[in-house]
Amino acid sequence: MIKIGDVLILESRNDKEVHEYKCKVAEVFPDFIYIDYPVNQKTGKTVFLMNGMQFKASFVGKDGSLYLFDTEVRGKVRDPIPMIMLSYPDEQRLIRVQRRQYVRVEATVDVAIHPLQGEFSPFATMTTDISAGGAAIVLPERGIHIFPGMIVEAWFVLPMKSGEYHYMKVPAKIVRVFQVEGSYVQKASLQFLTISSQDRVLLIRYSFERQLAIRKKAEGLPE
């Protein structure tokens, strides 16, 4: 399932914050994998992991689904390059999140929309909902002429629960332009086209975090 070159996101949590690290799979064996030294998503610096450290890991498979598993640092090697050994479970124990399970959640995220061929002037706006497959955005009151089928570039800023901000550029197709019932507000629905595995993982993780925050708010619990 997991293969050499896959981007792996490692997550550790304590009472105060969440730490996320990005790495790539270097070697794959039946019950363990080797990764290159991870980079802290917030600082951009390489981190050194100690034996016995435990993480939640996630990667995107060739079928486009997100896979989650628990892992532990088992050791380090330097042949032919410095690598870290992680435990890897039987594939039947991987948790799979399929494309159709990409949940669209209410979220106000900063986004800038750029044309591919100068059809309109770039503009900044906000989303009203988002998922790993698309988003809905609020259109400016006047002067923007976009229509279904148009391809644009969407630049997003994702604020994660850990305090990190992730920036991503995603090509998207305008699926629908519509007016919100009972108001003068116009929205557009976007369908994401080509998207990297890393960006898809971030969008899914952001959606999960928003779901949890919304659920806690509804139950009157602290986020």
pLDDT, tens digit, 9 for 90 and up, residues 110-122: 999 999 888 888 9
Please write the tens of the pLDDT for every residue from 38-71.
998 778 899 989 999 999 898 888 877 778 899 9
Nearest to 104 by CA among 67, 126, 132, 66: 132
Question: Is there a single domain that holds both residue 92 and residue 160?
Answer: no
pLDDT at 181: 85
Report the CATH number at residue 199.
2.40.10.220
Is the pTM above the cut of 0.75?
A: no
**62: amino acid identity, one letter:** K
Please write the tens of the pLDDT for every residue from 168-218.
999 999 999 998 888 888 999 999 998 877 788 888 888 888 887 887 787
Question: Tokens in use for 129?
Answer: 């909902």
Question: Is there a single domain that holds both residue 87 and residue 28?
Answer: yes
Question: Is there a single domain that holds both residue 179 and residue 122?
Answer: yes
Q: Going by C-beta distance under 8 Å and a sequence separation of 6 or more, which residues neighbour residue 12?
A: 18, 19, 21, 53, 54, 55, 56
Please report the beta strands in 29-92, taking only residues with DSSP state E, as ranges in sequence order.
Answer: 32-35, 39-40, 54-60, 66-77, 83-87
Confidence band for 151, pLDDT divided at 50, 70 and 90? very high
Evaluated on CA atoms 3, 200, 194, 100, the torsion sign reads positive
Burial of 192 (0-12, 13-18, 19+ CB in 10 A): buried
In a domain, 43, yes or no: yes
